[in-house]
Structure 1
Amino acid sequence: MSERVTNWAGNIVFEARSVRRPTSVDEVRDLVAAGGPLRVLGSGHSFNRMADTTGDLVSLADLPRVFEVAAGRRSVRIDGGMRYGELAVRLEEEGLALHNMASLPHISVAGAVATATHGSGARNANLATAVSGLELIDGKGNLVVLDRSNPDLPGAVVGLGAVGVVTALTLDVVPSFELRQYVYDSVPRAQIAAHLSEMLADGYSVSLFTDWTGLDANMAWLKRASSLSGPWFGARLADGPRHPVPGMPAQHSTDQSGEPGPWHTRLPHFRMEFTPSAGAELQSEWHVAAADGLAAIDAVASIRSRVAPVLQVCEIRAIAADQLWLSPNYQRDSVALHFTWIADTAAVLPVVAAVEEVLAPLHPRPHWGKVFTTPGASIRAEYPRFGDFEDLVRRYDPSGVFRNAWVSDLLV
């Protein structure tokens, strides 16, 4: 490959022989029909080799933009290359909204959905649950259209790029709404122990942040419809804007003044007009059952002397249960512990393994797009429908066009 292509963080240099940038769905079909191997490269926000291939990387960024609001104004059809930032602005112009967004608005919709990426909120399911329809090119080059009447949809949505190339999606939408954002400093450990579930449910979206240098949480970020004043579970209102990583400048963070603003300007942690070119970081995340959230925090606290030296920040969030086969939130309300590590793979990987070891009794499910070391057999055991997903992949991609080493290690 003449160009050196990396993921967003720069920790993965792709081994592909070329990067293809089709400008039509027909071109995508031709690429797939040629036999692969190929993998789709979204916005590059995966931190492992999920998107890598020895064949062709396919970027859908140059597909014609599609934005079609349904007649009943309850769904929107978009192309497979669109990013959340653009989608959010266009929805707001229509007086519409998504039910939630991730912390970074610059990621591709199709990529986020395929990995069950999520925002926050005890009553909010992950981003993939908004998908009511998929249009994909299967491993034989056929265009397949799925909707909620098709029993394959719950398996294909969080498809890890192994089912097909998603060229269009239909998403549920809701009327536009406003939220306020507040940041509180120094959340006492005793309050977390006594009130974790209340904390994570005390807003439309709630995040606790800690650097694990102590047992208290550094901050709480609350995105709410109603106003707040005074202390919050013993924490004090921040005296100015904050960045999620302690000590980092806050100018790129979303508004924290408590003033109401459109949903898409409050739900992400970062402003849409700030486009990061690269991230000097690695990321990991594990989901446990909501009832085990405090136990998970205690488990990480037991090894915080190992975690803190290689950590930038850890974010703790709640996500509602869903019925998507490979969602980490499949059939269980969840608490997720997200780790933003320093950009040092050799130093971070042993700590990742240590976190996995202390969380193992709680049956954690790792975020598919992050750094983890758990073997495929252990991951498969945590998903009751994993066998059904493997059957789905065999039906949709019998020749292994979309297979790579990462997928092969995961699937039987």
Structure 2
Amino acid sequence: MVTERNWAGNYSYQAPRMARPSSVAELQDLVASAGKIRALGSRHSFNDIADTSGTLVVLDGLDAGISVDRQNMTVTVSGGTRYGTLAAELQCQGFALHNLASLPHISVAGAVATATHGSGDSNGNLATAVAALELATADGSVLTTRRGDADFAGMVVGLGALGIVSRLTLDIEPSFDIAQSVFEGLDWEQVLERFDEVMSSAYSVSLFTNWSGETVGQAWLKRRTDEAVRHTGWPEFLSGTPATDARHPLPGVSGSNCTQQLGVPGPWSGRLAHFRMEFTPSKGDELQSEYLIPREHAVEAIRTMRSLSEIVTPLLLVGEIRTIAADQLWLSPNYGRDGIGLHFTWRQNEPAVKAILPRLEAELAPFSARPHWGKLFHGCADSLAPLYPRFADFTALAGRLDPSEKFRNAFLDRRVFGR
């Protein structure tokens, strides 16, 4: 039995075996000979999405092989490579990704497979940067698919159900600088009255709250220095007070392991994520959930969350609100719609958190809330399928690529295939 736990420590993997291939050929052999097999990324999922009753494959032994194609403005990298590693190399060569998630510690393939995102009105999630991917399919052969190919949009956010992604090609752009500033104590009513203006005031905006009280705890604005200031009052932002030293999203926690703030310009690779690659952002003693809401319902959904503060706040370390642009990836929570992410960083009390998730999801259901695939949520296939117009197309695609159900696991059976 594998004796591995996830980053948060709330889940112990049940797989009996773990393998670390050192080449794609070795990965192919593992997949071909396995009865059941799944890839395990950086263990930043909070549920059993990566587990299997067979072999867990860890791809961090593959050569990162970071290869920049300057003509096509893409970079190709192994699936197990972490975003922080990729970002540092791209910056050295004068290039950038369009966005990063809060943590640079997560693996590229794992983040893409679950549609993990950063923030920004015009920024799609990390999966939208994928121009091509290579995966080991059920018979051990390698399948390469590119943007524009049939079913490509169904394969990118694949939840590990279609094969094991060994390499990805991502869109890049010239490097840019970011100046990140934090404001505290924004009046909630002002924020909601001018919500679109607030969230469009910088390249990437995050609002941190515990959902109680009359003010937003913190607003993090990440402004591209090569763009005009988007808000005429910046940095005197609404009623907020500019922070005078580094802030952490959690009250009372040192901001020393967060990325550079105080409006000091610097490379995107050291600003777009919330946390520095060289530090562990916390001890992992937290749980997370997130729900993606259509943009047109943003203010009403936020008001709903504030009305639930009595049951949510006691279990919460911090909440975060971000914006994400629409995409056409079948199982992306932003398929076909611009949206906001309502993120919950919970105290590590899993029974209590799971007990309130049905109520939380029922309150957000009128807004067609889609959960983040890698975090804690309650809904199963019968409630999730109606939220995704291409859900049936995805299950059919999985049936074609994995007829022996080699990549299926308990998570997929509950959440996708309805067993």
If the length of structure 2 is used for normalisation, what is the TM-score? 0.96
Residue by residue, what CA displacement relative to the aligned partner does 1:301-357 show, whole Å, maximum 9, x if unpaired? 111011000000000000000010000000100011000000110111122222111
AA aligned to 2:58 is: S
Equivalent residue number for residue 221 of structure 2: 222
Cα distance in structure 2, aligned partners of 1:247 and 1:29: 48
AA aligned to 2:215 is: D
Equivalent residue number for residue 24 of structure 2: 25
Q: Does 1:82 align with 2:87?
A: no
Report SS of the residue matched to 1:51.
coil
Equivalent residue number for residue 364 of structure 2: 359
Shift of 1:136: 0.4
Q: Does 1:254 align with 2:287?
A: no
Cα distance in structure 2, aligned partners of 1:274 and 1:103: 13
Equivalent residue number for residue 305 of structure 2: 300
Residue 322 of structure 1, aligned match among 313, 323, 327: 327
Shift of 1:231: 2.4
Cα distance in structure 1, aligned partners of 2:67 and 2:218: 39
Equivalent residue number for residue 95 of structure 1: 94
Cα distance in structure 1, aligned partners of 2:339 and 2:275: 24
Equivalent residue number for residue 341 of structure 2: 336
Shift of 1:152: 1.5
Mapping of residues 102-181 of structure 1, within 5 Å:
102-181=101-180
Unaligned runs of 5+ residues in structure 1 are none
Shift of 1:142: 1.2
Cα distance in structure 1, aligned partners of 2:285 and 2:271: 24
Shift of 1:71: 4.2
Equivalent residue number for residue 386 of structure 1: 391
Cα distance in structure 2, aligned partners of 1:158 and 1:121: 20
Report SS of the residue matched to 1:5.
coil
Shift of 1:73: 5.1
Residue 401 of structure 1, aligned match among 396, 399, 406: 406
Over the aligned positions, Cα root-mean-square deviation in angstroms equals: 1.3
Shift of 1:213: 2.8
Report SS of the residue matched to 2:348.
coil
AA aligned to 1:159 is: G
Residue by residue, what CA displacement relative to the aligned partner does 1:266-315 show, whole Å, maximum 9, x if unpaired? 10100111135851000000001001011111111111011000000000
Report SS of the residue matched to 2:340.
strand
Cα distance in structure 1, aligned partners of 2:157 and 2:413: 17
Equivalent residue number for residue 61 of structure 1: 60
CA contact (8 A) 1:10 1:278 kept: no
Shift of 1:239: 2.4
Q: Does 1:38 align with 2:37?
A: yes
Unaligned runs of 5+ residues in structure 2 are none
How many residues are paired up?
A: 411
CA contact (8 A) 2:243 2:262 kept: no
Q: Percent identity?
A: 49
CA contact (8 A) 1:8 1:277 kept: no
Q: Following TM superposition, where does structure 1 have runs of at least 4 consecutive aligned residues deviating by more than 4 angstroms?
A: 226-230
CA contact (8 A) 2:289 2:372 kept: yes
Cα distance in structure 2, aligned partners of 1:197 and 1:5: 43
Equivalent residue number for residue 375 of structure 1: 380
Equivalent residue number for residue 236 of structure 2: 231
Residue 280 of structure 1, aligned match among 285, 298, 304: 285
Relative to 1, partners in 2 of residues 1:230 and 1:397: Cα closer, same or farther, differing over 3 Å? closer
Cα distance in structure 1, aligned partners of 2:331 and 2:354: 24
Equivalent residue number for residue 249 of structure 2: 244
AA aligned to 2:260 is: D
Equivalent residue number for residue 206 of structure 1: 205
CA contact (8 A) 2:258 2:281 kept: no
Cα distance in structure 1, aligned partners of 2:140 and 2:382: 30
